[in-house]
Amino acid sequence: MRDARWLAVACLCGVALVWSTPLLWMVVAAFRPQNFGGLSMASLIPDFAPTLDNFAEALDSADFALLYLNTVIVAGGILVVQLVTITLAGYAFARLRFRGREVLFHLFLLQLMIAPPVLIVPNLVTITQLGLYDTLLAAMAPYFASAFGVFLMRQTLRTIPRDFEEAAAMEGANWLQIVTRVLVPLARPGMIAFSIVSIVAHWNEFLWPLMVISNPDNHTLTIGLATFTRGAESASQWGVIAAGTFLVAGPLLLAFALFQRQFVNSFLFSGVK
Amino acid sequence: MHRLRTIAAAGALALAFGGAAAAETKIELYFPVPVEGKLASEMRNLMERFNAEHPEIDVTAVYTGSYDETNIKTRAAIKAGRPPAAVIMSANFILEYQINGEIEPLDPLIEASGETPDAWMGRFWPALHGNARFADHVWAAPFHNSTPLVYYNKAHFAEAGLDPEDAPDTWQELVDAAKALTKRDGDRVTRYGFMLPGNYDYLGWIMTALAMSNGGLYYNPDFGGEVYYDQPSMLGALTFVEDLIEKHKVTPAGVTDGKAVSTAFFAGDASMVILSTGSLSFIRENMKEPYGVTFVPRNVRNAVAIGGASLMMPKGLTEEQKAASWTLMNWLTSPEISGHWSRFTGYFAPNREAYDLPEMKTFLAANPDAQVALDQLAYARSWFATFNTVAVRKALEDEVQAVMSDKIQPAEALKAAQAKADEIMAPYVAQTALKLPQ
């Protein structure tokens, strides 16, 4: 029994090491002097003379304060609207009875099958017609409804016994009160799980913001990072790339470290993997 | 939600007033960053200078990702009715915009400025004309261009008993040198004699150079519905690549990214590499050991395809925007700016007159490697451009990658690549070469 436990721990450590290698390398390389050490550049073992030069160069290459602000507005704005829409839609699919509910729900799920790049041109045309081209709102708008979120909220709400709602209804609560006072608090783990997925996805998103945003003042972190790290015809300055990536991923990593327990709990509860 | 609406309304108002209040013409220039980050800030500097010199125009330089992403964004913006005034577009994508009718011919603007198209095109190197002027019109202004070059480590040459001043001229000499340069520790290779980039876009361009050096054409420069993948010139080129990996064992198997190739060169893990002239400044700044550059070696003849990007003007602009865009295009391709950008990046200057300027002469005297890149232009040809260029290119690249990973033999690979490419171009061919009198 004891041996099996040790074996499991050893296996998990091995897997964790494989998964964390890119992150470890990013941290090591970000602090490594810029010297094109060739193979030693790929080493995971830190140098003895850590340097902040890479960060200085990365910070100098883009207006990070603005990029952070824009990214927070975009990822946060999307999430706030999504939480409202997916809770209401999830409630409708979980609790309300109406004709065509199942068909509509399956149509919703079908959306998950569509690869987002296919929608670039139609979405861009819509955004332009709405007069939103080249605004932060345009980077957010297509994501205000989320098929995945609706599905997740429907499943979460269905696990909540109806007794709570019936008790609230007996007290004279209307449906909106039932949703906001009774169901939302109980569905919190599902909402947190969805929030993580949503924030990570939109924090890291590149193609759609690149398509819809032109003004450098509206750029998000991923585009800002790309402006100084992506080059097709040259070697890369790995140190600066690592430092820039560190700056972009840092807030998410920090958030994960701080709220780790809560994250893990919500994923366990909601069954998202 | 309410707040968002307010923001949107405020944004719309700001846009409306911004447009009305400014007497200057506001235009956008889309630019990819093909080489390195410093270029993005240098491009912004250039635009500030342009705006200062032209008070009637206000250009915003908009970063648009890689060449492929710039293509997607430009196409999407055109379809959405918000075309940029000018785009720095991969030179071989221009043909598709012409086929789709999404691009302004430049001849009327050239004639309005009192020049003939012949005279205007005359300022650019002849090798660049094919991708800019076709189907009876001028469609683009070459902005920064490149050819593939072989970079070699002179210290390694001396160490292996080769003459550092006598670089390989032929495929045979390349293989002989690569064998002498490769270092082995038992079965393990510790230093490769030769490396080439295998990532998308780069690989297609390198295969073009090898097929052309082998006497091939790669594609039909006069008709966008034909490529010559399943031909002896390409078979020889691909078998040559396979031999370097499997027979001579002087090149690593599998797909090596262009960036990894240059990193290996800096680190001394590769003695010879084939890379773009666009990397020249970057390599000059970062390579510690002495290095040399030379033409892409020949098997049948010296020939390479140009690379790089041209300025194009999408349709759907107002007359003011067109005029402003035209001013910008001429400014960016002027001898002074062309030369400045060339020295900054390593790309050669498309405008020949740039090389008559004293600062360019001083620069070339101090940097003979840049002169080699320029000399190779005498053997340069147009870059592969067809209907649906990217997909047709990938049809070949996927198969070449499979060969480099030893999953398939060259002959079968080329048959598959040809079939796939023909299928992709079939709709265009049906509308053109196979559209016959009824």
DSSP string of B133-154, one letter each residue: EETTEE--EEEEEE-EEEEEEH
Q: Which residues of B are less than 8 Å from A238 in CB distance?
A: 263
Separation of alpha carbons B284 and B307, rounded Å: 20
Give residue B4's pLDDT. Answer: 46
Between chains, do A81 and B4 touch, taking CB under 8 Å as contact?
yes
Q: Which of A39, A230, A233 to mutate to test the interface with B (most CBs of B within 10 A)?
A: A233
Count Cα neighbours of B115 within 13 Å in the Cβ-side half-sphere.
14
Residues of chain A neighbouring B29 (CB-CB closer than 8 A): none
Provide the CA B267 distance to its chain's centre, in angstroms. Answer: 25
Mean pLDDT of B115-125: 95
pLDDT of B28 above 50: yes
The residue of A73, A211, A234, A236 whose CB has the most chain B CBs within 10 angstroms, and thus the best one to mutate to test that interface, is A234
Contacts of B11 in chain A (CB under 8 A): 132, 135, 137
Residue B329 has what pLDDT?
96
Residue of A nearest to B267 (CA): A38
What is the model's pLDDT at position A67? 93
DSSP codes, chain A: -HHHHHHHHHHHHHHHHHHHHHHHHHHHHHTS-S---GGGGG-SSPPSS--SHHHHHHHHHS-HHHHHHHHHHHHHHHHHHHHHHHHHHHHHHHH---TTHHHHHHHHHHGGGS-GGGGHHHHHHHHHHTT-TTSHHHHHGGGSS-HHHHHHHHHHHHTS-HHHHHHHHHTT--HHHIIIIIIHHHTHHHHHHHHHHHHHHHHS--HHHHHH--SGGG--HHHHHHHHH--SSS---HHHHHHHHHHHHHHHHHHHHHTHHHHHHHHHHHT--
Query: Which runs of E-coded beta strand occur in B164-289?
Result: 183-185, 188-195, 270-276
**Separation CA B264–CA B262 (nearest Å):** 5
What mean pLDDT do residues A118-129 have? Answer: 89
Judged against a pLDDT cut of 60, whether residue A91 lies above it is answered with: yes
Render A148-198 in DSSP notation, one character per residue.
Answer: HHHHHHHHHHHTS-HHHHHHHHHTT--HHHIIIIIIHHHTHHHHHHHHHHH
- Closest to B8 (Cβ–Cβ): which among A132, A210, A214? A132
Of B33, B64, B79, Cβ closest to residue A210: B64
pLDDT band at A271; cut points 50, 70, 90: low
* A46-55, A117-126, B9-18, B96-105, range with greatest mean pLDDT: B96-105
Question: Could you tell me which residue, B353 or A112, shows the higher pLDDT?
Answer: B353
Task: Note whether A232 contacts B63, CB cutoff 8 Å.
Answer: no
With CB atoms and an 8 Å threshold, state whether B65 touches A38: no
Two tokens, residue B289? 């050991």
Residue of A230 and B229 predicted with greater confidence = B229
Residue B49 pLDDT:
95
Smallest Cα distance from B58 to chain A, Å:
13
Using a CB-CB cut-off of 8 Å, the residues of chain B touching A231 are 33-37, 39, 259
Angle of helix B232-242 versus helix B389-404 axis, rounded to 10: 40
Q: Which of B57, B63, B25 minimizes the C-alpha distance to B44?
A: B63
Strand order in the sheet with B307-312: B57-63, B25-31, B86-90, B307-312, B141-146
Looking at residue A48, its pLDDT comes to 64
Q: Which element (helix H / strand E) includes B181?
A: helix B171-181
Plot region of B334 (φ>0 → left; ψ -120 to 50 → alpha; else → beta): beta
A38-52, A157-171, B98-112, B310-324: the lowest-pLDDT one: A38-52
Q: Cβ contact (<8 Å) for B79 and A121? A: yes
B276·A230 Cβ contact <8 A: no
Q: Is the pLDDT of residue B413 over 90?
A: yes
**Between A93 and A214, whose confidence is greater?**
A93
Is pLDDT of A44 > 80?
Answer: no
Consecutive H or E run containing B311: strand B307-312
Identity of the residue numbered B400: V
Over 50: is that where the pLDDT of A169 sits?
A: yes
User: Between A225 and B84, whose confidence is greater?
Assistant: B84
Whether B11 shows a pLDDT value over 50: the answer reads no
Matching CATH topology for B2-145+307-367 and B148-305+383-432? yes
CATH topology of domain B148-305+383-432: D-Maltodextrin-Binding Protein; domain 2 (3.40.190)
Residue B6 has a pLDDT of 46
Distances (CA, A) of B122 to A5, A128, A133, B115, B125: 77, 40, 39, 11, 7
pLDDT at B68: 82
Measured in angstroms, the CA of A166 and the nearest CA of chain B are apart by 30
Write out the residues of chain A at the interface with chain B, using a CB-CB cutoff of 8 A. Answer: 36-39, 41, 61, 77, 81, 84, 120-121, 124-125, 127-128, 131-137, 206-207, 210-211, 214-216, 219, 223, 226-238, 240
Of the candidate ranges B265-269, B284-288, B300-304, B334-338, the one whose mean pLDDT is the lowest: B284-288
Average pLDDT score over residue span A159-182: 88
What percent of chain A has a predicted confidence (pLDDT) above 70? 90
**Cβ neighbours of A225 in B, within 8 Å:** none
User: Chain-centre distance of CA B101, in angstroms?
Assistant: 23
Cross-chain residue pair A61–B37, CB shorter than 8 Å: yes
Dihedral class, residue B254 (left if φ above 0, else alpha if ψ from -120 to 50, else beta): left
Question: How far away is chain B from the Cα of A120, in angstroms, using its nearest Cα?
Answer: 7
Residues B132-171: b if buried by 16+ CB within 10 A, e if exposed = bbbeebbbbbbbbbbbbbbbbbbebbeebebebeebbeeb
Candidates B42, B44, B62, B280: best to mutate against A (most CBs of A within 10 A) is B62
DSSP string, B391-406: HHHHHHHHHHHHHHTT
Give the C-alpha separation, A173 to A189, whole Å: 23
What CA–CA distance (Å, rounded) separates B342 from B117?
A: 24
Q: Is the pLDDT of residue A120 over 90?
A: no
CA dist., res. A35 & res. A37, Å (int)? 5
More confident residue, B214 or B5: B214
Nearest to B301 by CA among B248, B205, B378: B378
Residues facing residue B275 across a β-bridge: B149
Q: Does residue B22 have a pLDDT over 70?
A: no
Q: Which amino acid is at B25?
A: T
Q: Taking residues B328-356, what's their average pLDDT? A: 93
Q: Among A38, A207, A216, whose Cβ lies nearest the Cβ of B269?
A: A38
- From residue B411, how far is each of B110, B220, B290 by CA, in Å? 47, 21, 39
pLDDT given for residue A176 in this prediction: 87
* Contact in structure between B139 and B133 (CB atoms under 8 Å): yes
As a whole-number percent, the residues of chain A with pLDDT over 90 amount to 31
Strand pairing of B304-305 and B380-381? parallel
Q: Where are the beta strands (DSSP E) in B82-187?
A: 86-90, 133-134, 137-138, 141-146, 148-153, 183-185
A36·B35 Cβ contact <8 A: no
Residue B312, pLDDT above cutoff 60: yes
For position B332, what pLDDT does the model report?
96
CB-based contact A204:A251 (threshold 8 Å): no
pLDDT of residue A1: 59
Domain boundaries, chain B: 2-145+307-367, 148-305+383-432
pTM of this structure: 0.80
What is the reported pLDDT for A29? 83
> What CA–CA distance (Å, rounded) separates B404 from B219?
22
Shortest Cα–Cα distance, B37 to chain A (Å): 3
Chain B residues whose CB is inside 8 A of the A132 CB are 8, 11
Sign of the C-alpha dihedral computed for residues A211, A213, A214 and A219 taken in this order: negative
Q: If pLDDT is split at 50, 70 and 90, which confidence band does B12 have?
A: very low
Least confident of A20-29, A51-60, A140-149: A51-60
| Mean pLDDT over each residue of chain B, to the nearest integer | 90
Cα–Cα separations (whole angstroms), residue B388 to B95, B218, B393, B421: 9, 15, 9, 10
CA distance B127 to B142: 11
CB-facing half-sphere around the CA of B357: CA atoms within 13 A: 17
pLDDT at residue B319 is higher than 80: yes
Query: If pLDDT is split at 50, 70 and 90, which confidence band does A42 have?
Result: low
User: In the CATH scheme, what is the code of domain B2-145+307-367?
Assistant: 3.40.190.10
Residue B425 has pLDDT above 70, yes or no: yes
Tokens of B134: 């076709």
What is the pLDDT averaged over residues A137-146? 92
State the average pLDDT over residues B91-115: 94
Segment B76-92 shows an average pLDDT of: 91
Residue with tokens 């913006």: B77
CA distance linking residue B148 with residue B197, whole number of Å:
11
Per-residue tokens: B130? 């094919």
pLDDT bracket for residue A190 (50, 70, 90): confident
Chain A residues touching B77 at Cβ < 8 A: 124, 211
Give B283's pLDDT tier (boundaries 50, 70, 90).
confident
Q: Quote the pLDDT of residue A34.
A: 64
Give the C-alpha separation, A17 to B312, whole Å.
49
For the segment B128-177, what is each residue's pLDDT rounded down to a tens digit?
Answer: 999 999 999 999 999 999 999 999 999 999 999 999 999 999 999 999 99
pLDDT of residue A232: 45
**DSSP-assigned letters across all residues of B240-271:** HHHIIIIIS--S-SS---HHHHHHHHHHTSEE
Non-local (6+) Cβ contacts of A72 within 8 A are: none
